[in-house]
Every structure is written in C-alpha cells, then in structure tokens.
Amino acid sequence: MTRLLDIGDIWEWDLSGNTLLRGNFTGDRTTVVGSTTFAGEPAKSLLTTTTLNYGIGLPDVSVVEQVIRQDEDGNIELLGEKIGSGPMLSVTSLGFELPGVLNALTAKVGTNIFSNLKTRAHVFTTLNLNNVNIPLLGNVEAWMVSETITDVPGAVNTATRWYIPSLGNMVKFNDSILNGLSLTTLNGVLSGTNVLSDLLP
C-alpha cells in the first residue's frame, strides 16, 4: 500500500559524493510537503533544499520547488518546477507519471515538456525487492529502482534508488549526474522524517 504525501511531511537525507572539479563533499537534503494551487486547482508542493559542504569556503545551497498532483493510487504528476530564483515553469505536455504502485521487472517511460520548451525524459524501471540497511530504520525491505532522467537542455542523471511505498518516499539513492563535461556522484540515505510508520523505531 502506497502512503500518500500529506501536507507537513518532512524528509531528510544525509549526503556524500564528489565532483571532478571540486572533489569530495558531504551534506544534507530536506524535502517539505506544502499546500499550493496551480492553474486555479489545489495541488501540493515539494520544497527541496540541498546543502553541500566541500570543506573549503561557503557551502553550496540549492532550492527546488516542484508542484505536483497525486491520485488515490499514489501516482504523481509533475505540474510545475522552479529552480532557485528562476520562474515557475509549467509542464505543458505530461508524458510521465511517477508510479505509486511498484511491481518487479516493470518499466514506465515518458517525456514531459515544460513551458520554456525544455524536455525531461524519464525511464523508471522497478527491479526487485532488496534488503537494505538504513541507520534510521535498520535492515528493511525496499524496492530497488533504476532511473534515467534526461533534461534537454541540461543534465543526464543515471540513478539507483530504493523506495518503501508504505513510507511514501525513497530511503536511499545513488545518483550519477553528467552535465556537459561535469560529472557528480551523489549518494543519499534517509536520516529523518516525521512520517509515522511501523518501520520507524
């Protein structure tokens, strides 16, 4: 059973990784679920703040706001996206939904087109159930998913992620992000959430 996102949900991940130009980093990511409207209709917002510390100088902080709609089965449609201080870009052609129900060896493929004509192709392949160790949760069973997200113009993100539907989110991810000649590896592990679940200690 997929848990639907609720207003006020908070998710936190510990991050680590490296970039070719700046070397290793640590950091954290927080996503907060809020309430908003989009084109006059009620919707939910996902406000994600990522902080990366390289050990020298000030940390890099990035903020992304996504406006979504989620149906009763847990499927998520992306309605709009705002990166940093940029404009909110609406999705003018919806070709991909993040699935709410996961089944082994199934794939969803689609492309969203934004109001500035940017495209985002998404390949989401559910592999199988894996046992994974998450310090916050201990040893738990999660769906291992392979994802490829291609923004044109923009980056190609090839990722392996572990989702627990009863928690409503991923608990671990390993991303490899290629933007031009710049390669970033980004690893995350769930470190905190206010979501109630039988999995939480």
Do residues 142 and 163 lie in contact, with contact meaning Cβ atoms separated by under 8 Å?
yes
pLDDT of residue 56: 87
Q: Would the pLDDT of 199 be above 80?
A: no
Q: Would the pLDDT of 201 be above 90?
A: no
pLDDT of residue 197: 78
Give CA–CA dist 77/96, Å, rounded: 7
| Phi and psi angles of residue 79, each rounded to the nearest 5 degrees, phi first | -100, -35
Q: Which H, E and C letters describe 24-50, residue by residue?
A: EEEEEEEEEEEEEEECCEEEEEEEEEE
Q: Would the pLDDT of 1 be above 70?
A: no
Count of CB atoms within 10 A of residue 60's CB?
A: 14
Mean local confidence (pLDDT), 100-112: 95
Give the tokens for residue 193.
Answer: 């959430």
pLDDT of residue 188: 98
pLDDT, one tens digit per residue, over 115-151 is 999 999 999 999 999 999 999 999 999 999 999 999 9
Of the pLDDT bands very low, low, confident and very high (cuts 50, 70, 90), residue 185 is very high
Q: What is the pTM of this model?
A: 0.94
pLDDT of residue 18: 97
Give CA–CA dist 172/88, Å, rounded: 28
Give CA–CA dist 9/126, Å, rounded: 25
Using CA atoms, how far residue 37 sits from 7, 34, 68, 133, 198, in Å, is 13, 10, 10, 38, 32
Give CA–CA dist 126/148, Å, rounded: 12
Of the pLDDT bands very low, low, confident and very high (cuts 50, 70, 90), residue 57 is confident
pLDDT of residue 40: 92
pLDDT, averaged across the chain: 95
